[in-house]
Amino acid sequence: MQIFFKKTDKKNLRFGIKEIYTMYEKWCRINGNEMIIKKLFFKKELELLNYTEEKGKGIDINNISGKRGYNILLS
């Protein structure tokens, strides 16, 4: 799973867990990979890899403020 994710360059960029999982699903389909992690365990797996939900609010991909979530992208 580590090969799928990386920290973003923008420290205040946030993605919600649902958005990240959707990107993960798309990445798996495009690359012909089997989805290793089921939705139920996805958040726990992120935490095991030291990806935690950011405490402060940030911005979403459209630069709209007030977004909560993770500072993470698919690689």
pLDDT tens sequence across 6-46: 878 888 999 999 988 888 888 888 888 777 778 888 889 88
Return the closest-CA partner of residue 4 out of 44, 26, 69: 26
Domain with 62, as residue range(s), is: 5-74
Cα(52)–Cα(75) distance, integer angstroms: 17
Q: Which two tokens stand for residue 16?
A: 């919600």
Q: Into how many domains does the chain fold?
A: 1
Residue 68, pLDDT above cutoff 90: yes
pLDDT at position 74 is 67
One-letter-per-residue 3-state SS of the chain: CCCCEEECCCCCECECHHHHHHHHHHHHHHHCCCCCCCHHHHHHHHHHCCCCCCCCCEECCCCCEEECCECEEEC
Predicted TM-score of the model (pTM): 0.78
Residue 16 has what pLDDT?
92
